[in-house]
A and B are shown apart, each in its own frame.
Chain A
Amino acid sequence: MARAGSFVEADNAEAIITRIEHKSRKIESLLKQYKPVEALKTALEGTYAMTGDERCKSAHWIAVHRALMAIKDVDGMLSSLDPEYYDILMKYLYRGLATGDRPTCDQCLRIHEKLTEKAGLGCILRFLTDTVNTV
């Protein structure tokens, strides 16, 4: 039974990675059209339906990272983003801050400040307590 479970998960992982690749292509095309906010929304939606193993999480992180680095106007982006995405965005911001890569950290710190002002400390706390749905 456990082996059948792991086979199902492997298939699932492949399906998830294919879906993430589709999303990446969509994000690239949106970025070419200078729509970084839509690209970020595309990257963030459906994250929870796609919880999988480390490969899926890394693939997802790469897509979100691409969209995040293209954002220039942080205030505009936050005002047009739905509040339901604040928690997921905060999780990806902390993942970005953990990388230690200077441009990523700069961008993430900038967005983090504004997002905390908008979403409040509850957003950070939800990230800290959520040990199940990690990114």
Chain B
Amino acid sequence: MASTLRPYLTCIRNTLDAAMCLQNFPCQEVERHNKPEIELKSSPELLLNPVLICRNESEKCLIETSINSLRISLKVKQADELENILTKKFLRFLSMRAEAFQVLRRKPVQGYDISFLITNYHCEEMQKHKLIDFIVQFMEDIDKEISELKMSVNTRGRLVATEFLKQFI
């Protein structure tokens, strides 16, 4: 498991490094509007090839770039029902607080667990390599968080059950 994590994260980091070439681009259709072109997908000449990087059957990362914005969608490994529920709740918790994260998207793209939307404004305010570090660090930490949550749920369940069943001994 850990043996493919390093190359997977390196591949994503390199691809993001190459793909994060964003510049300001006012909307072509509407005057005085400035929209992230990757969300609209109205003009094919502004879009680059989307990249899908899979680590295995259950984990993948979709990177779509356009001239002024970049969308990264992640699907996190979910081994069983409990992890499924925990992941959904945890990532929904984060997505609801997307304002605080700035680069997070409020709703994940269809088929994925969480999405990031990075625009040229983010690249102007923040450093590109730090943004990429953030995304990669997020991917590393999410797995640890989910396992910790799962362990704490199991521990709590066991304690509660023990206490409850003591009265019947």
Contacts and interface: CB of A to CB of B under 8 A. Distances in A.
Contacts of B131: none
Contact of B4 (A94, A101, A109, A134): A109
B59 to A, nearest CB: 9
Interface string B122-153: 00000000000000000000000000000000
A112 B11 contact: yes
A113 interface: yes
A129 B10 contact: no
Nearest to B5: A109
Query: Chain A interface secondary structure, helix, strand, loop or mixed?
Result: helix
Interface string A101-135: 11001100110110010000110110111110010
Interface in B59-81: 60, 65
Given A113-B7, A113-B10, A128-B49, A105 B18 contact: no
Given A110-B7, A112-B11, A121-B14, A130 B54 contact: no
Per CB-CB distance, the 9 closest pairs between chain A and chain B, nearest first, are: A124-B18, A109-B7, A100-B54, A98-B52, A121-B18, A128-B48, A102-B56, A125-B18, A116-B14
Interface of B: 4, 7-8, 10-11, 14-15, 17-19, 21, 44, 48-49, 51-57, 60, 65
